[in-house]
Structure 1
Amino acid sequence: MTFFNEKIDRLNTASVKWEATKEIFGETDLWPMWVADMDFKPPQAVIEAIKKRADHGVFGYTFIPESTKQAIAAWVSKRHSWTIDGSWLLYCSGVVQAISTAIQAFTEEGDRVLLQSPVYTPFFEMIKQNNRTVVNSPLILEGNQYRIDFAAFEEELKKGCKLFLLCSPHNPGGRVWTKDELLQMGELCLKYNCLILSDEIHSDLVYKEYKHTPIASITETLSENVITCIAPSKTFNLAGLQASVAIIKNNTLRKQFDDTLKRQGFFTLNTFGIIAMEAAYLEGEAWLEELMAYLQDNKQYVLNFLQENLPEITCIDSEGTYLLWLDCRKLGLSDQELRASLLQKGRLALEPGTKYGLGGEGFVRMNIACPKEHVIEGLNRLKMAFK
């Protein structure tokens, strides 16, 4: 039996995914395939490293050692062919904090911040929470894949945008942007003096036939205009340990970002976040390769099931992430009716597409980072909801 088939009871662990459905959906006893965490244990090396540190028994103030910086740099070099320096690294409790920090560091109240919907919900939230102006250049769905409307993208930049929030790979659509697409976006941002924050938290979760390219790695000029955010949280299921990395080559930008962190009172990561991050990047590669094969199998199972049982629902071609973006528009239901059928008839918790902005109407997002039996149960409930 593969490691990832193990069924782990997550109840009574304060699991958002399993125990917060009443607060989020207004219902209990739902089958959860919504929020983006996995139902898998991380690599054993991570668990052992945490146990060893816990056994030491003293948890005083902790700094981030050079070995952790080296582990991050080695991982980025090997997995993404990008040579970075440990001095470029700053740390946050999560990528969402990094997004908010960048907005505070590089824009003023009222400034225009660009994004591309449908996209990860906190992009909108962090812009609004910081009293900036959301500027949307929606993605275009052609066939079964999203593409960028470069003419519309440039038009918004012409009007003046201080910051562009890029989701790469894309959540919820699963696109792994090509080098050419990234270069074109990057050069347009340079042309109109717009800084880029690239959320690359899903960069390790890319299927075999695709390749993630960090946008900052493409040209020397681009590398000076990008804040790249990564984390082991999605890759290794460590979100509860709250550790992420901002890679900023430009000395001036890095100081501005760091100064903003200091104004927030941010000091360092928690001890176990540091320990887990280093262990994962040093010893988690074999586990990740097995994970991606397992996710590929889960994804194919979903595609086959939909084709045979629910042909009205199609899955957007996912090149990365463990999130599937399901197009339910042919069902002819409103978003309220979709939600009601899922919750009342299927007892299934999926993310509603409307959360992701313009273009999300009629879609739902499904998390397949769980044992296959869990996927099968979820799909049977999906069928129950709409048959």
Structure 2
Amino acid sequence: MSTKVRALPLQQLRERTSEKWREYPADVLPLFVAETDFPLAPAITRALSRAVETGDTGYVASRTPLAAAYAEFATRRFGWSPDPARMRSTADVSMGIVEILRRVTTPGDRVIVMPPVYPPFYDLVEEAGAVVERVPLRDTGTAWEIDLDGIRSALEEGARAILLCSPHNPTGTVHSVASLTALAELAAAHGATVVSDEIHAPLAQPDAGFTPFLAISDAAREFGYAVVSASKAFNLAGLKCALIVTASDGPTRVVRSLPIEVEWRTGQFGLLAAVAAFSEESDGWLDGLLDTLDENRRLLATLLAEHLSGARYRMPDAGYLAWIDLTELGWGDNPARRILREAKVALHYGLAFGAEGAGHARLNFGTSPEILTEAVTRIAALRDV
């Protein structure tokens, strides 16, 4: 049984010392970075409290319950049962992506990304020694879709890997099974690798139809990797824990060949928190969070329609990030700069996600209705200036 998860009061949030609450002065409402304003799931609080009480702050063990906990979570939430023996942990999703790309590409190989997309993707490809190949999502006017023809062309011209964001950040798109199936077939036909960042998967709304990439088809399992974490859904980014997941022998051999240091970079508190997050005990909390985020995404649509006509926004299928097109307001290619300077609301700069982000901003609605309302009211007041 779920109960809606409510955000903490603003005064209490300002006691936090994380990036969201320390980057800007106290007169700024921070809706930029992907941290949420909710209390931790009770099972996580208990797990971390026990660790502090017993001094359980040493090295991560060589045998942990993390992979089994995630497999059970995936079975309950996605109807997919990955094999715990085919997983390894690491510090975070970004590190997992880089370590995979280092082993499936050679220096100078091209890796496809689909902008507008999570800004670190560009840096992660370069960190792995590869080169970014941009194949933007297609905007159909009502949705964003993978440009399969563009992917095909890039692969035919020699691209060796595809970096997939599923669900997609910043648009919140849950890619269709048909699109993912076709993507896997294209990768298989060209001997390319798909690395699927599924950090937002636990936050897919129940009606969105999210399917893990490795559950799509034999081709996806043969040529795919997934990197997953509890960090976005349960607000655990600072604790450092993610899982690299495989589903067939080839990718599993690659992951098992990674240096042990990759696994030892997993944070002990991150692992303990993730096990608690993935436990059945936390399902009710997660369901309550999804209910709250559903209310917030709808509230945002109402607020924008009432106070900021001209802003274009599609409710995301997953997550707590809103991709808002502010082009019609005439605030330039980077409207978040003016919004920060004059409205004292911090949004993520659209251009950071790629050239397709010109005129856009990303807003984090993982907060209270009061903060969300105040933020939109402040932004809307700029129209009268």
Q: Taking structure 2 as the reference length, what is the TM-score of the superposition?
A: 0.94
Contact 1:49 1:279 in 2 (8 A): yes
1:268–1:349 distance in 2 versus 1, CA, 3 Å: closer
**Aligned partner of 1:244: which letter?**
A
2:366 to 358, 365, 369: 369
Give the match for residue 9 of structure 2. Answer: 7
Give the match for residue 24 of structure 1. Answer: none
**Aligned partner of 1:206: which letter?**
A
Please, which moves more after superposition, 270-279 or 226-235? 270-279
Report the Cα offset of residue 293 of structure 1.
0.8
Report the Cα offset of residue 132 of structure 1.
1.4
Q: In structure 2, the residue corresponding to 1:284 is in which secondary structure? A: helix
Report the Cα offset of residue 266 of structure 1.
4.6
Report the Cα offset of residue 211 of structure 1.
1.3
1:2–1:155 distance in 2 versus 1, CA, 3 Å: closer
Report the Cα offset of residue 64 of structure 1.
5.4
Equivalent runs, 1:1-387 vs 2, <5 Å? 3-7=5-9, 9-11=12-14, 13-21=16-24, 29-63=27-61, 65-262=63-260, 266-282=263-279, 283-336=281-334, 338-387=335-384
1:199–1:3 distance in 2 versus 1, CA, 3 Å: closer
Contact 2:4 2:291 in 1 (8 A): no
**Aligned partner of 2:13: which letter?**
R
Structure-1 separation of matches of 2:56 and 2:32:
37
Q: RMSD over aligned Cα, in angstroms?
A: 1.8
Report the Cα offset of residue 110 of structure 1.
0.5
Contact 2:5 2:285 in 1 (8 A): no
Structure-2 separation of matches of 1:195 and 1:265:
20
Report the Cα offset of residue 374 of structure 1.
1.4
Structure 2: gaps of 5 or more residues: none
Q: In structure 2, the residue corresponding to 1:155 is in which secondary structure? A: helix
Contact 2:67 2:243 in 1 (8 A): no
1:363–1:208 distance in 2 versus 1, CA, 3 Å: same
Structure 1: gaps of 5 or more residues: 22-26
Contact 2:8 2:39 in 1 (8 A): no
Structure-1 separation of matches of 2:289 and 2:158:
42
**Aligned partner of 2:368: which letter?**
P
Contact 1:341 1:386 in 2 (8 A): no
Structure-2 separation of matches of 1:6 and 1:28:
16
Contact 2:240 2:266 in 1 (8 A): yes
Contact 1:64 1:274 in 2 (8 A): no
In the comparison of the two structures, how many residue pairs are matched? 380
Structure-1 separation of matches of 2:326 and 2:170:
14
Report the Cα offset of residue 208 of structure 1.
2.8
Contact 2:66 2:271 in 1 (8 A): yes
Structure-2 separation of matches of 1:321 and 1:67:
26
Report the Cα offset of residue 87 of structure 1.
0.4
Q: Percent identity?
A: 27
Q: In structure 2, the residue corresponding to 1:260 is in which secondary structure? A: coil
